[in-house]
Amino acid sequence: MESLELTVFGLALVCLTIWCVNWIMHIVSLIYGKCCLHKQHADVIVEDLPGISILKPLVGIDPNLFENLETFFNMKYPAYELLFCIQDEFDASRMIVQSLMDKYPAVDAKMFLGGKNVGINPKVNNMVIGYEAAKYDLIMISDSGIKMREDTLIDMAIHMTSKVGLVHQMPYICTRKGFASNLEKMYFGTQHAKIYFLADVLRINCATGMSVLMRKSVLEEAGGLREFGQYLAEDFFMAQAFLDRGWRVKCCSQLALQNSGTYSISHHTRRMCRWMKLRNAMVPTTLLFEPLSLCFVVGLLASWGASYIFDVSPLTFLLVHTLFWFLLDYTRLKQLENASVPFPKFDFVVCWFMNEIGYMLLLVQSHLEPTINWRGRKFRLKWGGVVEEIYTKQLV
């Protein structure tokens, strides 16, 4: 009986330890946001910054595509080139790119059609020709839905110090109309931001490929862009290639502003579920640790632990825990906005609860269905992040 009590006490202590670790994560991420976000670089000599080749893979059109692409033609940076990569020569995005190239003839911009089949990843296949034609050593990959600030390239280039090989932007969401956009902003501005900032502090691979600046020379040592065509999550493996060669991977102070004009709650949940499947395959430890970073999972475990060890009311403990977690998430979102939260407080409450509860359901869903649907194609995911495409027989 004494041995059983000791075991239960140990479990309760573990639950409280997990709870304490999560609060440390909250505090560290808030300090990171205060110290590292939205930096100004007024004293930088811009003319001394190195040239950058920007790869823009495009497939189809989006209501905000013209607006997003135009921001790249208006950046304040001394030397950069835009390399638009379009898989299909009949793709409608080609007309938008051409109209912008005609509107801004002084900007060094080129268009590449067709791509090369170097692996299973359609994004990599699309970019290979543009990558091979890039004239600068610094290569930036930027998704079509990203909207850039005028000084973003300056911020990223400044973070590319002598020991840094890859600079990435933390994903965030532009302020758009509708509840679905608010829900996306809630995910990227709270739970995701907390983990992302902590990973940068601990130098853990958490880079995203939607807006990333890399040294081409180092990427060539790893086999070039084509080497990563075998993975769907090519961004993770590219960042790992830099880390394996002794280079630092660094998050810059500006955010990757996603500004897709097509968005919905269902689109957001499918996207999150796909990312979870990829994380589970590439880093299996996330199967254990990701659920233990959620407010209600941690709160329930800690409530039981506190009630067993300290004989406090588990309900009171859970309510206080939830309230403070909620307030810190609200503070973090304000940090990312660098202003007030851009939607009503009632929407924040609803989105916050939907994000916390729905995330757990998505974790379960990601385990039940191992296949991935992406860009109209279906893939079977294997451990290690390698995928194979699933082909459907056509009936004649």
Catalytic residues: 235
Query: CA 392 to CA 146: how far, in whole Å?
Result: 33
Helix (H) or strand (E) holding 355: helix 345-368
Query: In this structure, how many other beta carbons lie within 10 angstroms of the beta carbon of residue 48?
Result: 8
Output the CA angle 30-34-38, nearest 5 degrees. 125
DSSP state for residue 89 in the 8-state scheme: T
Helix (H) or strand (E) holding 82: strand 80-86
Give the SS3 label for residue 224: coil
Rounded to 5, what percent of the chain is helix, strand, coil? 55, 15, 30
Q: Are 192 and 171 in contact (CB under 8 A)?
A: yes
DSSP state for residue 205 in the 8-state scheme: -
Taken in order 133, 138, 139, 143, the sign of the CA dihedral is negative
Strands 52-58 and 80-86: parallel
Output the CA angle 226-84-177, nearest 5 degrees. 110
Please count the CA atoms within 13 angstroms of the CA of 373 that sit on its side-chain side: 6
